[in-house]
Amino acid sequence: MSERLRLMAVHAHPDDESSKGAATMARYAREGAEVLVVTLTGGERGDILNPAMERPEIRENIAEVRREEMNRAREILGVEQEFAGFVDSGLPEGDPLPPLPEGCFATLPVEDAAEPLVAAIRRFRPHVILTYDENGGYPHPDHIMTHKVSMHAFDAAAEPNAYPDAGDPWQPLKLYYFVSFPPERFEALAKILAERGLDNPFEEWMERIKDRERPRWEITTRVECSEYFDIAHDALRAHATQIDPNGFWFAVPNAVVAEAWPTEDYHLVRSLVDTEVPEQDLFAGVREAMRV
């Protein structure tokens, strides 16, 4: 196969790429695929979630700091990355919810917000695109907008009359939703921890979210990538403003996690190549089509 496989992951903020599908990207990059993360906003309105990073100079320069964190994470994962240039919408709180800031990503018309992604697709020419479901994975306005923009761009990038200044048309072949935190994964982990007499750091979190209304997507594709879990955690720690290295996400050794659930999981939404689910490879069907 002379042409390299190409994978694009579309995310809302810097750090999202390291908490959703990071080990998958690390695996494919090391197997020779080209991997590009498109980060739609700069995360300017994100909170500082690591107490050790709560300092005035960081707070005042959060946009620049988060770009530096993203660059470190990109290097760890071994992928390429680019920002689309939109402004973080923030996560509104209150009852009723306040309006979103004027001009932020989630307030833009989908057709306008999709243009940089269409240009990135036409330039990078991905065979496979990863993105969020209509709930955004969780209902942050930028995540929901990322879903809308990704779905629009998947088709528009191939339309010759759409976005004439965004490059030559290109049709991606497959599109997936992340299924990042399936309850079954945490149930399997809880079982192993209980068998070993170990505390389950996710117990309270599982209880809190169990009745939360959200789409339950079938896992159509399980990518075995446990060998790269440590790399994914290193990339996540690189986003030092967003993750507490002493937090519960790192409390269980990756060897135990791998025993319970050695895959990252996806739902196949669109495919223009022949494939059969369940899959074990995001490029299933693509590899065969490229050999024809």
Structure confidence by residue, pLDDT tens digits, 262-284:
999 999 999 999 999 999 999 99
- Model confidence pLDDT, tens digit, residues 201-241: 998 888 877 776 666 899 999 999 999 999 999 999 999 99
- Which of 121, 127, 130, 125 is CA-nearest to residue 220? 130
Q: What's the whole-number mean pLDDT along residues 255-260?
A: 96
Rounded CA-CA distance 220/232 in Å is 22
Mean pLDDT over each residue of the chain, to the nearest integer: 95
Rounded CA-CA distance 241/15 in Å is 10
Measured in degrees and rounded to the nearest 5, phi and psi for residue 60 equal -75, -20
Rounded CA-CA distance 118/112 in Å is 10
pLDDT at 249: 87
pTM > 0.85 = yes
pLDDT at 178: 98
pLDDT at 181: 87
Instruction: Confirm if 11 and 140 have CB atoms less than 8 A apart.
Output: no
pLDDT at 125: 98
CA distances from 157 to 109, 121, 124, 129, 163 (A): 17, 7, 11, 12, 8
Query: Per the annotation, where are the binding residues?
Result: 13, 16, 143
pLDDT at 286 over 90: yes
Percent of the chain with pLDDT over 70: 97
In the CATH hierarchy, which top-level class contains the domain 6-181+216-291? alpha beta
Residue 74: pLDDT band by 50, 70, 90 thresholds?
Answer: very high
Query: Per the annotation, where are the binding residues for Zn(2+)?
Result: 13, 16, 143
